Amino acid sequence: MSRWKCGVEGCGGRFEDVESVIIHQTTEHERHECKVCGTIVPEGYFAIRHAFDEHTRAEFVRAYEADSTAVRIREDVKSTVEKEANLNNVVQTLREQGAL
């Protein structure tokens, strides 16, 4: 069974490992425009990381009309990915593919 699901709205993609999910989100989904600052970022994990590293929770909630549950879900995703994924490998793979 595939443990990891993509999680992007409308996508049912499932993957064996978390690195594959991030690569999928970055290469196969439309880019996401940050609603706080307008920066174009990859969809999925990188969009979440951008939102929470670059902006405050309050800015995120205001711009996305999000509630505390939505914030908590994204914080959980971010910390799980950062615990499980070899992000250096992911970033290197994506750079080699010209996706970042």
Binding site for Zn ion (CB under 5 A): 6, 8, 11, 13, 34, 36-37, 39, 54
Minimum separation from the CB atom of position 55 to Zn ion (A): 6
CA separation for the pair 2, 19 (Å, rounded): 13
Tokens 């996305």 locate to 64
Minimum separation from the CB atom of position 48 to Zn ion (A): 11
C-beta of 13 vs 64, nearer to Zn ion: 13
Minimum separation from the CB atom of position 46 to Zn ion (A): 11
C-beta of 39 vs 92, nearer to Zn ion: 39
Please list, in sequence order, all residues whose beta carbon lies within 8 angstroms of the beta carbon of residue 4, skipping any fewer than 6 positions away.
14, 15, 16, 17, 18, 20, 21
CB 25, CB 46: distance < 8 Å? yes
